[in-house]
């Protein structure tokens, strides 16, 4: 849309947004649609209030970074949210989305590691054994799971009618969540400019306490999952049906998210890895680097639709999970062609994962 295009009236935009969001209602259990609609509408009104004459904004991100104690929007809703924000941004004829508290810079790049299926079963076995041997205390009622990570991402930056590739700088993300998922706190400058962060506690604005799912799990939810790899994988395929670009890729992504920002019980960890090994297209990447600069060996899968490869990175000696990254390995078309092979579209590193006794408490150095 060029600068001479008349700007839609806010009321007309609100109606269009509501119509778009209503199309995702069928994908959400009762109560969640209105909750996310109100959150998104509030963010959009904030964007309008803080519009600037020049800015950068991510055209696409690996995750929609709304707080998610026990809630994740289905991909159709994510797409609508992205379209709505993009629509608001374009309609100003140069005005744009409010900057986050994270600085921007050039795109993140890496050397694309060679992928092979050779040694995959042996690697999964070693990772599973390492996971089973790891000290992993249970979470008692009243305690909180604390996860501290570092992350960054690359995106298409558009100013006026000119697009280029940029990145958000590496930043720290801290999450606390109760065992049942009803209490939580998030500190992340890419989500909230306040250094104090924001609450993730339930119930939501509508008074609902949504049930946890595989894509937005609580510790209690994960503790009830089967540890049989075949049954677990079948459940993952069933619960994520219709999400992602393909069923196989979505199953792989779902397991990857559980490895990252959740706390699976000790007996579930080996089952997750063994289930992942059964997904077609899973390969080994001999060298991969997490967001903290740690080199390791990766279990990975290429999304044939996007041309991006998701990599789970493990320490080469101990086989402990370090982090993950998503690398563009095939050139896209259209505007997406700007995301050239070797671009790291998302990267993260788990720095601390622990059980603490209070909200906002951080573990000791050895905790």
Cβ-contact 139, 263 below 8 angstroms: yes
Q: What is the mean pLDDT of the chain?
A: 77
CA–CA gap between residue 210 and residue 202 (Å, rounded): 8
CA torsion 178-182-185-186 (nearest 10°) is: 110
- Rounded to whole angstroms, what are the CA distances from 87 to 13, 15, 66, 110? 9, 13, 19, 32
Segment 59-73, tens digit of pLDDT: 233 333 333 332 233
Q: pLDDT tens digits, residue range 235-275? A: 999 999 999 999 999 999 999 999 988 999 989 999 999 99
Q: pLDDT tens across 151-205, in order?
A: 999 999 888 889 999 999 999 999 999 999 999 999 999 888 888 999 999 887 7
Of 42 and 338, more confident: 338
Between the alpha carbon of residue 252 and those of residues 93, 233, 237, the distances in Å are 40, 10, 10
pLDDT of residue 136 exceeding 90, the answer is: no
Burial group, residue 336, by CB count within 10 angstroms (0-12, 13-18, 19+): middle
The b-or-e profile of 218-235 (16+ CB within 10 A means b, else e) is: bbbbbbebeeebeebbeb
Q: What is the pTM of this model?
A: 0.74
Burial 20-50 (b: 16+ CB within 10 A, else e): bbeebeeebeeebbbbbbebbeebbeebbee
| pLDDT beyond 70 at 78 | no
């Amino acid at each position: 849309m060029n600068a001479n295009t008349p700007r839609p009236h806010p009321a007309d935009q609100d109606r269009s947004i509501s119509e778009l969001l209503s199309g995702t209602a069928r994908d959400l259990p009762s109560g969640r649609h209105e909750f996310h609609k109100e959150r998104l509408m509030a963010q959009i009104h904030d964007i309008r209030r803080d519009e600037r004459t020049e800015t950068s904004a991510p055209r696409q991100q690996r995750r929609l970074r709304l707080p998610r104690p026990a809630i994740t929007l289905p991909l159709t809703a994510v797409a609508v949210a992205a379209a709505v924000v993009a629509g608001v941004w374009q309609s100003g004829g140069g005005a744009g989305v409010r900057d986050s508290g994270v600085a921007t810079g050039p795109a993140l790049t890496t050397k694309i590691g060679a992928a092979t299926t050779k040694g995959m079963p042996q690697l999964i076995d070693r990772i599973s054994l390492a996971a089973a041997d790891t000290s992993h205390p249970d979470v008692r009622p009243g305690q909180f799971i604390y996860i501290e990570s570092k992350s960054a991402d690359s995106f298409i930056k558009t100013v006026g009618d000119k697009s280029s590739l940029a990145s958000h700088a590496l930043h720290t993300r801290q999450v606390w969540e109760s065992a049942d998922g009803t209490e939580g706190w998030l500190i992340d400058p890419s989500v909230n400019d306040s250094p104090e962060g924001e609450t993730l506690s339930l119930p939501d604005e509508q008074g609902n306490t949504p049930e946890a799912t595989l894509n937005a799990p609580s510790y209690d939810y994960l503790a009830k999952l089967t540890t049989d790899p075949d049954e677990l994988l079948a459940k993952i395929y069933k619960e994520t049906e219709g999400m992602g670009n393909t069923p196989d890729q979505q199953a792989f992504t779902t397991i990857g998210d559980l490895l990252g920002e959740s706390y699976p019980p000790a007996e579930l960890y080996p089952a997750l890895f063994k289930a992942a090994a059964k997904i077609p297209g899973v390969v080994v990447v001999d060298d991969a680097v997490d967001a903290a600069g740690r080199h390791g060996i990766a279990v990975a899968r290429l999304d044939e639709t996007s041309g991006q490869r998701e990599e789970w990175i493990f320490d080469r000696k101990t086989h402990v999970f370090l982090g993950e990254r998503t690398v563009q390995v095939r050139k896209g078309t259209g505007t997406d062609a700007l995301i050239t092979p070797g671009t790291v579209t998302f990267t993260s590193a788990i720095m601390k994962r622990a059980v603490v006794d209070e909200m906002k408490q951080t573990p000791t150095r050895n905790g």
